[in-house]
Copies of this chain bind each other. A is one copy, B any other.
Amino acid sequence: GVVNLIKKGDKVIIPVNGEFSSRLSQMLEWAGASVIKLETQPGENASFETVKEAFDNNKDVKAFYCVWNETSTGTMINYLDRVKDLTSRNDSYYVVDGVSIVGGEELKVDKWGIDIAMTGSQKAFAAPPGISPIVVNERTKKYMIENPPHTMYFNLPRYFKYYEESKHTPFTPALPLLYAYREALNMILEEGLDNRIKRHRTCSDALYSGLSAIGLTPFAKDDSRSTVVIALNYLEGLEDKTFRNTLAQKFRVLVAGGFGNLKGKVFRIGCMGEVQRYHVMRTISSIASTLDLMGYNVDAKAGLKIAEEKLKDL
């Protein structure tokens, strides 16, 4: 996504608000890009107006990159459908890193004018880790072939060539993972993509509502909340390690801690892939019980009641 498109001196706009958008921004810099970072506090997204302003001020921009779902903070960009109005001004490229969310939220690659989108197999696709699906549209493919990168391994023109000549990959692929990935895609088709997206939205809504009802507060701002990664602020004085270890050992419910300087301040719940009603109920129940065991006074029933109400849609 980076080495196959970006050349030394290319101007790139990217919103940065967490670990993964920072990494992507770093990769763009290493590739020689002149990077315009739209930085916001973790938990917030650069607004569409900020993005528009950056395009207004940089008419020679080569590409817009974004991390759709910032896994480190539980935020999600919700204006992907409108970026085309900006990139179409000078036919700049529109690149979406959808690693933790593709398969769990709606992504209309062609309709929204996205040139490159990539993801990971092990998140909302619910396949084993080890495969990084990527889609590239025709005009971008043409550009890449005409301007091949100086890399041996992630050299997309080489992949295009081998695929067209013999439906092969240029190097021996991790075959067992491809079989598992195909099965995961079949399972998505069996469920139906619309049903799957609805399931993710309903489950995350139930988690946000249910956990709020027991006294926890979402970390991300209202308009930026992810439907696949739920980040929550720790209650005053609640110790990260004890909380997560209790939850893991007594209830076998695994939640992740915060990244970098959010360590100890937030915890994160994965709400992707196979997530179902019972995961939501069990998670709220176990979190409430853990808080109870740790001496906090929580109203588990209120949380479960509102979650169950929300889950009726499934």
Binding site for B on A (CB under 8 A): 23, 26-27, 30, 120, 122, 128-130, 150-152, 172-177, 180
CB–CB B152/A30 < 8 A: yes
Contacts of A122 in B (CB 8 A): 172
**Within the complex, which residue of B23, B27, B129, B174 is in contact with A172, where a contact is CB–CB below 8 Å?**
B129
Cβ distance A13 to chain B, nearest Cβ, rounded Å: 19
Bound-state CA distance A173–B128 (Å) is: 10
Bound-state CA distance A176–B120 (Å) is: 15
Contacts of A23 in B (CB 8 A): 152
Contacts of A174 in B (CB 8 A): 128-130, 174, 177
Cβ distance A148 to chain B, nearest Cβ, rounded Å: 11
Contacts of A27 in B (CB 8 A): 152
CB–CB B120/A151 < 8 A: no
Contact A130 B177, CB 8 Å, known A23-B152, A152-B23: yes
Q: Which 7 A-B pairs have CB atoms at the shortest separation, nearest pair first?
A: A130-B174, A30-B150, A129-B172, A128-B176, A27-B152, A129-B174, A129-B175
Contacts of A128 in B (CB 8 A): 174-176
**Within the complex, which residue of B26, B120, B130, B150 is in contact with A130, where a contact is CB–CB below 8 Å?**
B130
Bound-state CA distance A176–B181 (Å) is: 12
Q: Which B-chain residue is minimally distant from A30 (CB atoms)?
A: B150
Bound-state CA distance A23–B171 (Å) is: 12
Contacts of A180 in B (CB 8 A): 176
Cβ distance A95 to chain B, nearest Cβ, rounded Å: 15
Contacts of A177 in B (CB 8 A): 130, 174, 176-177
CB–CB A129/B30 < 8 A: no
Cβ distance A161 to chain B, nearest Cβ, rounded Å: 15
Cβ distance A9 to chain B, nearest Cβ, rounded Å: 16
Bound-state CA distance A173–B131 (Å) is: 10
Bound-state CA distance A191–B26 (Å) is: 46
CB–CB B30/A130 < 8 A: no
Bound-state CA distance A66–B26 (Å) is: 32
Bound-state CA distance A176–B128 (Å) is: 7
Cβ distance A247 to chain B, nearest Cβ, rounded Å: 19
Contacts of A130 in B (CB 8 A): 130, 173-177
Cβ distance A240 to chain B, nearest Cβ, rounded Å: 15
Contacts of A30 in B (CB 8 A): 150-152
Cβ distance A283 to chain B, nearest Cβ, rounded Å: 21
Bound-state CA distance A128–B130 (Å) is: 13
